[in-house]
Amino acid sequence: MTGFRLTPLAASLPSTVPFVGPETQERQNGRPFRARLGANESIFGPSPRAIDAMERAARDIWKYGDSSSHDLRHALAHAQGVAPENVLVGEGIDGILGNLVRLTVAPGDHVVTSEGAYPTFNYHVAGFGGTLHKVPYVNDHEDPASLFEKAAQVGAKLVYLANPDNPMGTWHEGATLQKAIDAHLPEDCLLVLDEAYIEFAPKGTAPRIDPNDPRVIRTRTFSKIHGMAGARVGYAIGAPGLIGAFDKVRNHFGMNRAAQDGALAALQDADYVADIREKVAHARGRIAAIAQAHGLSALPSATNFVAVDMGGDHVLARAFLDALNARGVFIRMPGVVPLNRCVRISCGRDADLDVLEAEFGPALDAARQS
């Protein structure tokens, strides 16, 4: 054998990753970040109940995790007012998206998303040979009408929409989305509604979709408000036929045993979730104030991050990001015009935001000079 025998599709793909992690950047920089404000993690951490549950589970880590995630799945069904058959537990939303694309997209099948939206979804579509179509944001919002119109034009099998949105933090009211779904979503197209940030959003942001509606699958996560990004626990809500189809392709023992127990405990700690929601709201306000003090504006956000309009183009935004990085502050920015006039700053503790505040002005001066 003289070389790896990749499939033609795999051989044709670029060797890229959707995100370069902060640990990789720290190794490249030769030092740790002073403030980690780029990955939309919850720096506040998980519920103490979740930590206790995971510590207890460590004693039984010699066992595989429950292949059906029975207890967590039933608890999620109860919390969401749906049947257990409507709920899928998977290795984060990313893992669920990968299996969903594997289930539904064959080479050449059409998929629609927004230009600049979550790149990992696009990564999965490319990995299974789908043809990706993108529509622009409208006033810094993903636009359901444009998405569904494009899906109808190309005969898309999937259309992806995040509400609230990443990377801009904007959102639509649930009633607005529901009207768009009923009026414009093609009957043979599945809407992938990513609700990773829904717990931070105003009441009424989640549309009232029948869990048995075969047109929609919703994805949610324990990575954000529950502070368990490293545990990789996500879930989906959808029609039983679609949820059951995941058994054809999913990694049945892919769920970490300790993570399952931690997620179950986190789900039961409503007081902690409410406290994190308040802390995030405080941090959003502080980030906006820091930006305003330097003559910049922050977009309204229903997430655990804030998009700050740098008042220029992507060159200025990139220069500012690089200057903050050099000063030990990790942030990110959107990847396409016109979104990339902004940088994206995750919410953090006051100590983290103290570092951001101290370095914001010098980094902005350096960016403008460059």
**pLDDT digit string, tens, across residues 142-176:** 999 999 999 999 999 999 999 999 999 999 999 99
Q: What is the pLDDT of residues 78-88, one digit of tens each?
A: 999 999 999 99
Measured between alpha carbons, how far is residue 243 from residues 66, 118, 163 in Å? 17, 22, 21
User: Residues 305-331: what's their mean pLDDT?
Assistant: 97
Instruction: Tell me: pLDDT of 297 over 60.
Output: yes
CATH of 19-45+271-369, one of 3.40.50.2300, 3.40.50.150, 3.90.1150.10, 3.90.950.20: 3.90.1150.10
Q: How confident is the model at residue 1 (pLDDT cuts 50, 70, 90)?
A: low
Q: Range(s) for CATH 3.90.1150.10 in the chain? A: 19-45+271-369
Q: What is the pLDDT of residues 303-315, one digit of tens each?
A: 999 999 999 999 9
User: Residues 200-204: what's their mean pLDDT?
Assistant: 97
pTM of full prediction above 0.85: yes
Q: What is the pLDDT of residues 217-231, one digit of tens each?
A: 999 999 999 999 999
Q: How confident is the model at residue 32 (pLDDT cuts 50, 70, 90)?
A: very high
Instruction: Tell me: pLDDT of 19 over 90.
Output: no
Instruction: Tell me: pLDDT of 4 over 90.
Output: no
Q: Mean pLDDT score of the chain, rounded to an integer?
A: 96
Q: What is the pLDDT of residues 48-95, one digit of tens each?
A: 999 999 999 999 999 999 999 999 999 999 999 999 999 999 999 999
CATH topology of domain 48-268: Aspartate Aminotransferase; domain 2 (3.40.640)
Strand partners, 314: none
Instruction: Write down the pLDDT at residue 3.
Output: 75
Q: Range(s) for CATH 3.40.640.10 in the chain? A: 48-268
User: Residues 129-138: what's their mean pLDDT?
Assistant: 98
Q: What is the pLDDT of residues 222-262, one digit of tens each?
A: 999 999 999 999 999 999 999 999 999 999 999 999 999 99
